[in-house]
Structure 1
Amino acid sequence: MPKTTELTINDGGKRIDAALASAGLEHSRSTLASWIKDGQVLVNGQPVKSSYKVKSGDKIRITVPDTKSVAIQPENIPLDIVYEDDDLLVVNKEQGMVVHPAAGHAGGTLVNALLFHAPLSSINGEFRPGIVHRIDRDTSGLLMVAKNDRAHQALAAELKAHKTERYYYALVKGEFKEDHGTVDAPIGRHPKDRKKQAVVAGGREAVTHFEVLERFHGYTLLRLALETGRTHQIRVHMQYIGHPVVGDATYGHQQELLGISLKGQLLHAKTLVLTQPTTGEKMTFDSPLPSSFERVLKALKEEQKL
């Protein structure tokens, strides 16, 4: 069955393809333009041309066509499994590994590895079986994975209700005067670069709490808690307040520090707290910082002594 997405336009004046591309949808502007041309996008119940300029209050209905099914191949890729039972897995994902297959990443993903290891829930369809939440390719750390549909529904409901606790460590550029704080700023697709997210008016609610763990010359180690789970949320929020994550070339930091070459942002999903779907037990999992992350912290501490 084709899926449908419905939304209401808040600010008028843009071409419909541009308005939809900036609304935080997981589709490119070219894809949306193609669907508009094919009549799969209705405005107030009627098809329109791509040149149509939206008006405030317009009701948009998008019918997403079915995609051709492509079987994902299980692959014998080593996994760092922190915990496993009949309902779920908690995996410590390494930096550089894509979570699930997508354009340009048909294989070598966490899902390919998981399918080799165990059966997974079917709720997210063929491309994201078992995946309750994601972290970026170049972010390391803990992910919960559902092995059956009942467990997936329970874990997803807990996540949606903001009862799952997720704590990240990040090294960011700059020094903080405050010891803790909150960034509450809406996130949507970047208005000029569809591969990026940004703080934008009319974006989806996004809240990140931070606590300073350690200060260095020109850098700060933070512990961050996600209240919401928007795409690139921590990376976007840190850039927004002028403290981009170290190694995050996409959002404003070089990929080298103190002569150390970085392979991506120094952002690690360190702690995960969830409720076991069958027993109701509250479970806490923790993971060590990757050696590459520790190496940078050691270099900063040595520099600070000079």
Structure 2
Amino acid sequence: MQINWRYQGKEPIKIKTFLKEKGVSRRLLASIRFHGGELLLNGFPGRKVDQMEFTDQLTLRLPAEKSRQQLQPSYVPLDILYEDRDFLLVNKPARVPSIPSFLYPNDSLINRVWGYYLLRGYQGIIPHIATRLDRDTSGVVLFGKHRYAHALLDQQLQAHQVEKTYLAMLSGKITTAHFLLELPLDRVPGSFIKRRVEVTGKRASTEMWKLAGFPQATLCKVRLHTGRTHQIRVHSAYLGHPLVGDTLYGGELSQQLQRQALHCHKIVFFHPFKQKKIEVVAQLPADLQKYLEENQRGELS
């Protein structure tokens, strides 16, 4: 993997200063130095202390990456929403975990992306997942295709600059058109999985807009301003309107929908290499679309 820049500054600048401005960490530079990468100034080996002049070209050749664990490839086809040299966005189906675990070691979304990379013959890169979804939540998941891209995404995530919009079906009727929830979250004592609203917890901010009301549920657009575990699910339950199908937090299953009614509809992020915003949308999957239509007709059971 090779990254190129053409310096456009009027004043000379040291390579290490330029790279710091580009979000290249000391750790990544050390990896380049000691694990097979290269730093080239106008095609020749460069040092961090060398100076760049106007129109100089700097090349960063990243070392080949190896997984820290024995990652098993899964060759289940992916629904690719967007892909370029640096980023991959995938439409995750429900009932597929984002990452491998003890219960699901070989067929998480990461396993599937790894299998996709192998089938495509990609060399020297491994899956770097930047956004995760619960196993039963569907929708857009964002990957960096190399270590540097992932690091730049992480900076955006830490600064809350990645915009994630969800579609959620909340149980019951909601009359308020728009509301903002500022409710801190913490673990439920004795549970590794479950969360609750707790005044001493970590800040959690969720914004909701009512899109449509139905006899048994309300469809809402949801935007996260923080990224806490189960944030939408816990905030919805705290309102007294748990997500349809979310039995962990008081929602009820129906014959038409056997999982929580939550879908990551859209992700917007800044592409640091193309210098523009990228917007990627995943339409409602068939099970949620069917539930919505049958709710509208009053045919649910």
**Deviation digits for residues 11-65 of structure 1 (CA, Å, limit 9, x no counterpart):** xxxxxxxxxxxxxxxxxxxxxxxxxxxxxxxxxxxxxxxxxxxxxxxxxxxxxxx
State which of 253, 257, 263 in structure 2 corresponds to 1:262: 257
Q: Secondary structure at the match of 1:202?
A: coil
Q: Distance in 2 between matches of 1:238 and 1:294?
A: 20
Confirm or deny that 1:134 pairs with 2:132: yes
The alignment's C-alpha RMSD in Å is 1.8
Change (3 A) 1:121 1:295: farther
Aligned partner of 1:92 in structure 2 is 91
What code does the residue aligned with 1:266 have? A
Counterpart among 282, 287, 290 of residue 292 in structure 1: 287
Give, in whole Å, the separation in 2 of the partners of 1:263 and 1:120.
39
What is the aligned counterpart of 2:239 among 234, 238, 241? 241
Q: Distance in 2 between matches of 1:297 and 1:234?
A: 19
Name the structure 1 match of 2:153.
155
CA distance in 1, matches of 2:82, 2:276: 14
Over 3 Å counting, the alpha-carbon distance change for 1:120 and 1:77 in structure 2 is: farther
Question: Is 1:78 the counterpart of 2:60 in the alignment?
Answer: no
Give 1:178 deviation, angstroms.
Answer: 1.1
Distance in structure 1 (CA, Å) of the matches to 2:88 and 2:123: 10
Q: Give the stretch that moved more between structures: 276-285 or 226-235.
A: 276-285
Give a deviation string over 1:224-283, Cα, whole Å, max 9, x none: 000001111100110011110001111101211xxx242310100001101113112101
Helix, strand or coil: the match of 1:250?
Answer: helix
Alpha-carbon offset, residue 120 of structure 1: 9.6
The Cα of 1:194 is off from its aligned counterpart by 2.7
Letter in 1 for 2:239: I
Rounded to whole Å, the distance in 2 between the matches of 1:181 and 1:274 is 24
- Bigger radius of gyration: 2
Q: TM-score, structure 2 length as denominator?
A: 0.72
The Cα of 1:133 is off from its aligned counterpart by 1.6
Aligned-partner residue type, residue 134 of structure 1: R
Q: What is the DSSP-based 3-state SS (H/G/I as helix, E as strand, rest coil) of the residue aligned with 1:264?
A: coil
Cα separation, partners in 2 of 1:158 and 1:84, compared to 1, 3 Å? same
Corresponding residue number in structure 2 for 1:37: none
Aligned to 2:272: 277
- Secondary structure (helix, strand or coil) at the match of 1:79 reads coil
- Alignment gaps of 5+ in structure 1: 1-68
What is the TM-score with the length of structure 1 in the denominator? Answer: 0.71
The separation in 1 between residues aligned to 2:124 and 2:226, in whole angstroms, is 23
Task: Tell me, in whole angstroms, the C-alpha distance in 2 between the residues paired with 1:278 and 1:120.
Answer: 20
- 2:112 and 2:182 map into 1 onto residues whose CA distance is 36
Indicate the larger mover: 170-179 or 188-197. 188-197
Q: Distance in 2 between matches of 1:189 and 1:291?
A: 33
Amino acid in structure 2 at the alignment position of 1:243: H
* Residue 107 of structure 1: aligned partner: 106
Task: Report the equivalent of 1:302.
Answer: 297
Q: Distance in 2 between matches of 1:70 and 1:272?
A: 29
State the identity %.
35
Partner of 1:57: none
Equivalent of 1:173 in 171, 174, 184:
171
Match of 1:296, SS?
Answer: helix
1:141-177 alpha-carbon deviations (Å, 9 max, x no partner): 0011011111111111111111111000011112122
Q: Is the 8 A contact 2:267 2:281 kept in 1?
A: yes
What is the 5 A alignment of 1:6-21?
none
Q: Distance in 2 between matches of 1:120 and 1:111?
A: 16
CA distance in structure 1 between the aligned counterparts of 2:295 and 2:243, rounded to whole angstroms: 15
- Checking the alignment, whether the CA contact within 8 Å between 1:120 and 1:148 is kept in structure 2 is no
What is the aligned length? 228
Counterparts of 1:120 and 1:142, CA distance in 2: 25
Distance in 1 between the 2:195 and 2:123 partners?
30
Paired AA for residue 77 in structure 2: P
Give the secondary-structure state (helix, strand or coil) at the position aligned to 1:238.
helix
Q: Is the 8 A contact 2:165 2:265 kept in 1?
A: yes
- Provide closer, same or farther for how the CA distance between residues 120 and 300 of structure 1 changes in structure 2, counting only shifts above 3 A: farther
Amino acid in the other structure paired with 2:286: S
SS at structure 1 position matched to 2:249: coil
8 Å contact kept, 2:216–2:295:
no
Residue in 2 aligned with 1:182? Answer: 180
Secondary structure of residue in 2 paired with 1:96 = coil
